[in-house]
Structure 1
Amino acid sequence: MRAIWTGAIGFGLVNIPIKLYSAIESSSLDLDMLDRKDQSNIKFKRVNEKTGKEVTWENIVKGYYLKDHYVILEDADFEEASPEKTKMIGLHAFVQLSEIDSIYFDTPYYLEPQKGGEKAYQLLEKALEKSKMAGLGSFVMRNVEHLAIVKPYQGSLLLNKIRYEQEIRTLDELHLPSGIKIQKEEMDMALQLIKQHSKAFDIRKYKNDYSEDLLKIIHLKDKGKRATIRKIDVDNTMAEDLLAKLKASLA
């Protein structure tokens, strides 16, 4: 793995030099976009909208449109905005994970101690594990400030980016049901059905079957065979059929 960010975790006056690695990788197939006519790869170019000519990476800058013109930003400007956060994950509070709604959780990253930071790293990991708490802090990566929690994970420290409150959309635009009368028998059966299918969570039992099935189709097409298209009709349950469907599910 290649580190995508290097810096330190800071809590109190203790600074732990760390490297940050992505903890996830995509399980979907890597599909290319092609021209149907000759199967040539489709390429995207960075084109100047005035001249129509391609622009090289070294000539591309970032700018913010202010009133009637752009203000160009250089790398130094991004660092100057909050220099400590470009190098430091500052843990400014410790919280219980149960207090953070799952809607806020974003990308996970592994943290690895750099040379000289091993003991402080393990101290923080063990202390968080023993206290059953997580560190809440913020840092800047790729010119964007992220809110994050740091928690113990299988003998290591795991950083989870979490979303800001203003990034979460409200439910106001959804048409959600309210005031619908639920019969006691319906509720009892729904609870019984949940209990009947309750089991301990084991992520190892689940895998990306869609990608595997798609790969089978790719191999079939490569051999000149056509895949069988399975049509699925979803029988939506109406209110008048709810009780009968619950009984059938329990049976």
Structure 2
Amino acid sequence: MARPVWSGVLSFGLVSLPVSLYTATDSHTIHFHQLQRGTSDRIRNRRVNERTGKEVELEEIVKGFDTGEEYVLVEPKELDEIAPGRSRTIEISGFVDLDTVDPIFFDKTYYLGPKGKEYTKVYGLLEQALEESNRAGIATFVMRGREYLLALKAEKGLLAVHTLHWSDEIRDPHKEIPDLPTTGKASSGELKMAHQLIDALAIDWRPKDYHDVYQEKVAALITAKQAGETVEKAEPAPKATGTVDLMDALRASVERARSPKDTGEKASTSTTRASSWSLRALTKAELYEKAAKAGIRGRSGMSHDELADALAGAKRS
């Protein structure tokens, strides 16, 4: 059973609910140690006094803010003493229409659970009310020395907390990104073809259809190196589509995306297409090997994408 990362009280109006906060997601990134090349010697980071060169214990370290002329020293406990919400309370200041919160504000997701069976009725009441009203509670709280803005919402029978970015943390894209389109629109023909391509590539959202191909390749690389073998390098990224070639590329894309519809219904086609896009992350050699095992005819003359489409179709069948 998971351990809570924070415990406290959720309050809305005059109602108080003891709760615990749990991490909602995991990372499956493969972690490496740092070694000196040519050896198996670990490289470690240490806290070292830059003047004396001696290592410093954690309890001897204080925080210092550089004013440009001197350091203003701050003890960790002083930060705790001034932190808002020292009573460990998530106090909801109001409820907003969930559809009005721009997705860019959402950061990390946590599950919120009642701290004891005796509080399940209040917990369930709030979850049901938020679900039916499509609203989210907005609040702030402090965790691990940092204040968070959050949205509390109902999600499939439980309460979830989404930490939000502060408004001044959202960057203006027009100041950050060069070459954004400002003048000139697509022609009616290009726009029509783009809509057709989007419709042709429409799929149902099934998260389980997607997996982290890169991490699988990293694991395969480690296994191959253990066995003294080599692995095939990934194919280079496709060339950028120029303005002159845009209509041709759109038209060809629509024709290829529509082709599976002749042999199945739209739902089946959507599943096939999602599987096809996942397969395209593999190299041609890997696709060919899978095609050989699946007994796909004509595989020797197929391109990388044709192999992926054929495998996806065979998988659906």
Equivalent in 150, 158, 161 of residue 160 of structure 2: 158
CA RMSD of aligned residues (A): 1.6
Report if aligned partners of 2:83, 2:145 keep a CA contact under 8 Å in 1.
Answer: no
C-alpha deviation, 1:136, in angstroms: 0.8
Equivalent in 200, 203, 209 of residue 199 of structure 1: 203
The total of aligned residue pairs comes to 250
| Alignment partner, residue 147 of structure 1 | 149
| Alignment partner, residue 102 of structure 1 | 103
C-alpha deviation, 1:114, in angstroms: 0.7
After superposition, the C-alpha distances for 1:178-220 in whole angstroms (9 at most, x for unaligned) are 2123111110000011111112212121111110121111111
Report if aligned partners of 1:108, 1:158 keep a CA contact under 8 Å in 2.
Answer: yes
C-alpha deviation, 1:59, in angstroms: 1.6
| Identical positions, percent | 35
Report if aligned partners of 2:62, 2:73 keep a CA contact under 8 Å in 1.
Answer: no
| Alignment partner, residue 132 of structure 1 | 134
| Alignment partner, residue 179 of structure 1 | 183
Report if aligned partners of 1:8, 1:87 keep a CA contact under 8 Å in 2.
Answer: yes
- More displaced, 110-119 or 139-148? 110-119
CA 1:84–1:173: 2 relative to 1, 3 Å: closer
| Alignment partner, residue 269 of structure 2 | none
Report if aligned partners of 1:64, 1:71 keep a CA contact under 8 Å in 2.
Answer: yes
Report if aligned partners of 1:79, 1:86 keep a CA contact under 8 Å in 2.
Answer: no
C-alpha deviation, 1:139, in angstroms: 0.4
Work out the CA distance in 2 between the residues paired with 1:71 and 1:58.
15
Structure whose CA Rg is larger: 2
| Alignment partner, residue 211 of structure 1 | 215
Work out the CA distance in 2 between the residues paired with 1:133 and 1:10.
16
Work out the CA distance in 2 between the residues paired with 1:224 and 1:86.
58
C-alpha deviation, 1:126, in angstroms: 1.2
- More displaced, 166-175 or 8-17? 166-175
Say if 2:234 is the partner of 1:230: yes
Report if aligned partners of 2:84, 2:141 keep a CA contact under 8 Å in 1.
Answer: no
Structure 2 stretches lacking a partner, 5+ long: 256-317
| Alignment partner, residue 79 of structure 2 | 78
After superposition, the C-alpha distances for 1:27-71 in whole angstroms (9 at most, x for unaligned) are 211222111121222111011122211111222222334562323
Higher helix residue share: 2
Work out the CA distance in 2 between the residues paired with 1:229 and 1:84.
52
Report if aligned partners of 1:85, 1:138 keep a CA contact under 8 Å in 2.
Answer: no
Say if 2:242 is the partner of 1:241: no
Report if aligned partners of 1:88, 1:139 keep a CA contact under 8 Å in 2.
Answer: yes
Work out the CA distance in 2 between the residues paired with 1:233 and 1:156.
42
| Alignment partner, residue 92 of structure 1 | 93
Work out the CA distance in 1 between the residues paired with 2:83 and 2:59.
24
Structure 1 stretches lacking a partner, 5+ long: none
After superposition, the C-alpha distances for 1:142-195 in whole angstroms (9 at most, x for unaligned) are 111110001112211110101011111112132212212311111000001111
Work out the CA distance in 2 between the residues paired with 1:194 and 1:86.
51
TM-score (norm 1): 0.93
Q: SS at 2:72's partner residue?
A: strand
| Alignment partner, residue 37 of structure 2 | 36
Q: SS at 1:108's partner residue?
A: strand
